[in-house]
Amino acid sequence: MRLELFDLIDDSVKLLELNNPSYQYVEGAIKGCFEHLLEDYMDYVVGFSSRIKSIGSLKEKMIRNKYYLQFSTGEEVLNFLPDLIGLTVECRFISDENRIYQAIRHHFSFVEDQEYAQCMLYPDLCLNLAMPQPQLQRNGFTIYRIDGYYLFNGRKVNFELQIKSMVHSFWSEIEHQVVYKNTQYVMFDSFMKDILASIRDNLDVVDHQLEIVYTQILNQNKDKDIGMSERGFKMFMAKSISDLYAIKMIESIGFTTDFKKCSAVLSQYIYIKDFVQSDQPQQKMVEYFEHFNLLKISDLDFTEPITLEKEFIHYDPFCDVLGRYWQSIINIDFEWHVFFVMLFAIQPGNNIQDFTMFVEVLKSLIVNRFWYEKKFTALDNVSAQTIRDDLLRCVAEAMVEVGKVEIIHEDRLLQIMELFHEEIDRLDEMLESLEEYQLQRKDILTHLKHKICALFY
């Protein structure tokens, strides 16, 4: 005599086989619905896969979840079974999972007094969007898993929607085939959990790396003139400068420091100086490529003092203040010394010319000349220029007060530029005469200098 639970299992299996044609139709309908709903997101979606619960899987789930204690008929079992049909939306990367989930939510609206949200395009399609996502699994990892049902001939057919990146899909197969189907691992439960968690963490890293590669490939494909674009030129220059710096620092003093942001500044400087104004940018890139190869086999000594051919003097107040400061500490502050060693190495002219050009280009990154010359034009020319020069000098003095090489990093220059523009726009509206400015001069300059210095502390 058999246990009663097997009678329930047999009844459920027979009903599953009997309704299989209907389930196949619903499976295709659900898949078609989501393919249409996500047609604008096919750049992120790799594919759709679906399945109807197999007989073996149904038996295993009924025993594992003790359905025989909850239900008395096969119909009750199949009506309750949340993953009678399974649909998986596979996307490229982990970061895409939430993007796909939010896109799906956008097509559903909640019906009053009902737990499930109804699809606005396909009213027979419903999802339980009240479930928190992503769901926490028994293995401790998360997954986007949503219960749903499809109305077919007036009856609800349950399905489970999963959203998985390629890495998560791969991991699911690993767990299913290697872990859950191999009972021998149970005796090593604690040890195996640690190993599997480590593997999973590594897969997350792989996902991130693949996403970077994929994004880079997309960007390159969009650039018809790869290597000759602004972005391509800057990346080439920054990497070349950074690599050269690392090699020569090791050779010269035996260790190296982080020079990536300074490399980016130098690449931006070279781009403005040589790329923008050149009629043959391709030729310029080839020349720099040859120059860097030559520098790699040349001596570059960071322990030797830098010599400028003459004292730095500039008509512009910003350039004069900053340039004089750099000349005074160029062989004292090692960070600045290293920066200018690299600048002079990659520029073929004499040092004072390169030094002057760099200060002028730096100013242009903070202050747009055409924009600035239109400020304070309500005043006479002499008064307006006096105020403009005074404020520029204040910006340079604030940067000198900070003193760190960080003041020329691109992100910091952008912050200084935005702050300066805000303050100038405010003062332009406020000031009506040079006398009014002179009365408030001390407070205005103190305020401006304080705000710039505050960016660095």
Q: Give the model confidence (pLDDT) of 135-148 as tens digits.
A: 887 766 788 999 99
At residue 391, the pLDDT reads: 95
Domains in the chain (CATH in brackets) are: 4-189 (3.30.460.10)
At residue 65, the pLDDT reads: 87
At residue 224, the pLDDT reads: 45
**DSSP assignment letter at 306:** P
Pairing label, strands 142-152, 108-110: unpaired
Decide if pLDDT at 125 tops 90: yes
At residue 227, the pLDDT reads: 44
Place of tokens 């390629």: 166
Query: Residue 201 in contact with residue 87, Cβ under 8 Å?
Result: no
Q: Give the model confidence (pLDDT) of 325-336 as tens digits.
A: 999 999 999 999
Nearest to 75 by CA among 32, 130, 11: 11
b/e map 133-172, b = 16+ CB within 10 Å: bbeeeeeebebbbbbbbbebeeeebbbbbbbbbbbbbebb
Strand partners, 45: 91
Structure tokens at 442: 């001390």
At residue 225, the pLDDT reads: 42
At residue 3, the pLDDT reads: 77
Q: Among 73-82, 163-172, 209-218, name the most confident range.
A: 73-82
Pairing label, strands 117-119, 108-110: antiparallel
- Residue 244 CA, chain-centre distance (Å), reads 27
Structure tokens at 120: 């606005």
Decide if pLDDT at 115 tops 50: yes
At residue 226, the pLDDT reads: 40
3-state secondary structure of 213: helix
| Rounded-to-integer distance, Cα 428 and Cα 446, Å | 17
Looking at residues 188-194, what average pLDDT do you find? 62
Give the C-alpha distances (Å, rounded to integers) separating 445 from 154, 396, 398, 450.
76, 12, 10, 8
Q: Cα angle vertex 347, ends 346, 351, to 5°?
A: 120
Decide if pLDDT at 67 tops 50: yes
| Rounded-to-integer distance, Cα 26 and Cα 367, Å | 64
> Which has the higher per-residue pLDDT, 413 or 204?
413
Nearest to 115 by CA among 89, 138, 140, 146: 146
Name the average pLDDT for the chain: 86
* Length of the chain, in residues: 457
Looking at residues 107-112, what average pLDDT do you find? 86
Q: Residue 342, CB half-sphere, CA atoms under 13 Å: how many?
A: 27
Q: Give the model confidence (pLDDT) of 352-361 as tens digits.
A: 999 999 999 9
Categorize the per-residue pLDDT at 190 as very low, low, confident or very high, splitting at 50, 70 and 90.
low
Nearest to 86 by CA among 3, 186, 172, 202: 172
The answer, as to whether pTM is greater than 0.85, is: no
Decide if pLDDT at 42 tops 50: yes
Looking at residues 333-356, what average pLDDT do you find? 90
Categorize the per-residue pLDDT at 444 as very low, low, confident or very high, splitting at 50, 70 and 90.
very high
Structure tokens at 397: 């003095």
